[in-house]
Amino acid sequence: MSSNPPIFLKENEQSNSKYVEMQPSQTTSVLLEDPLQNLCLASQEVLQKAQQSGRSRCLKCGGSRMFYCYTCYVPVENVPVEQLPLVQLPLKIDIIKHPNETDGKSTAIHAKLLAPEFVNIYTYPCIPEYEETDHEVALVFPGPKSVSIKDISSHLQQRIQNSRRDKHADPDKPPVKRKKTEGQDGRSLNDSKWKGTTLKKIVLIDSTWNQTNKIVSDERLQGLLQVELKSRKTCFWRHQKGKPETFLSTIEAIYYFLVDYHTDLLEEKYRGQYDNLLFFYSFMYQLIKKAKCSGDKQTRKLLH
């Protein structure tokens, strides 16, 4: 049994790979006090000011919103976009949201606002076709066939090899004259330095648990490699009824995926590169926590 603290605490990242499901008795209130406090974040002054002045106008649709517009995916007038951190990601991210999901409650928008070049949000059933690129894409979903992050590369490489074999087996197609062990750029598929480079995109589903299961069974997503995250306890303040505390919000799932991708797959030390993905999340979490303590229903209503 591990005596490590909950794994959302940064100090514990090094030992994540040896992490086993945490026992409830280890979840001391001291450790859960402020799980997001050690993040490397940009100044949240802009959010503090916006919060004090209240809702502001969306410059696109004119709607009155707090911090950002959840329908236009832009920050509001009193949150200038140039004051938001811009996060560089190592992968593209497709988020598929259920049409019935309440936009205002989704944390998927945080990713779009903070890493706009890397993130696309689609509303089910309008989703991209992944068939041609399924050797570069993984679906983050904890299903029975899911693999761990560190095993993504070997599974995707297996797909490349299988598809080549299938082509070779097709009598109508002449065999491709290239050595089987070489990747597209000539590097050996077994070369450990090539680790991680096959994965170019992850897909996440942003909806309630029941709806997620329905979307996952869509045939356009069926063929994708499924990847599951290590067990982590959520800080999500809109905790879904009846769901375990390990059911993460979308932005938490993206963040933790990237941290593990960095350490387990790229095998590089994580230095907080993606922490700003939690720029809004950590701020709103603190607000909710304070409001809960002081019984401030107004703030809670504003953020829910």
CB of 142 to Zn ion, least distance (A): 33
**Minimum Å distance from CB 63 to Zn ion?**
5
Among 36, 58, 265, 288, binds Zn ion (CB under 5 A): 58
Map the footprint of Zn ion across residues 62-81, applying CB under 5 A.
Answer: 63, 69, 72
User: Which one, of 279, 277, 296, lies nearest residue 288 by Cα?
Assistant: 296
Nearer to Zn ion, 69 or 138 (CB): 69
Check residue 242 and give left, alpha or beta (phi > 0: left; psi -120 to 50: alpha): left
Map residues 1-40 to x or -, x wherever contact with Zn ion holds by CB under 5 A. ----------------------------------------
For the segment 209-268, give every residue that binds Zn ion (CB under 5 A).
none
* Residue among 29 and 53 whose Cβ is closer to Zn ion: 53
Of 18-26, 53-61, 102-110, 287-295, the window that binds Zn ion (rule: CB under 5 A) is 53-61
As measured in angstroms, the least distance from the Cβ of 74 to Zn ion is 6
* d(C-alpha 98, C-alpha 189), whole Å: 37
Applying CB under 5 A, the span of 9-17, 39-47, 52-60, 123-131 interacting with Zn ion comes to: 52-60
Q: Which two tokens stand for residue 215?
A: 């979307």
State the Cα–Cα distance between residues 164 and 39, nearest whole angstrom.
Answer: 44
Strand ranges (DSSP E) for the chain? 56-57, 64-65, 68-69, 74-75, 92-97, 119-123, 137-140, 201-206, 225-227
Residue listed under structure tokens 């074999």: 165
Among 14, 28, 60, 272, binds Zn ion (CB under 5 A): 60
Strand ranges inside 167-278, DSSP E: 201-206, 225-227
Alpha-carbon distances, residue 44 vs 83, 167, 210, 226 (angstroms): 9, 53, 35, 35
Task: State the Cα–Cα distance between residues 179 and 186, nearest whole angstrom.
Answer: 9
**CB of residue 118 vs Zn ion: minimum separation in angstroms?**
21
Q: Answer for the pair 256, 6: CB distance below 8 angstroms, yes or no.
A: no
Task: Write out the binding residues for Zn ion, residues 193-212 only, by CB under 5 A.
Answer: none
Q: How many chain residues interact with Zn ion (CB under 5 A)?
A: 6
Which of 115, 113, 72 is CA-nearest to residue 93? 115
Among 61, 81, 86, 176, indicate the residue that binds Zn ion (CB under 5 A): 61
Residue whose CB is less far from Zn ion, 71 or 120:
71
Q: Decide whether 69 or 227 has the Cβ nearer to Zn ion.
A: 69
Q: Which is nearer to Zn ion, 84 or 224 (CB)?
A: 84
Q: How far is the CB of 117 from Zn ion (least distance, A)?
A: 20
| Site of interaction with Zn ion (CB under 5 A) | 58, 60-61, 63, 69, 72
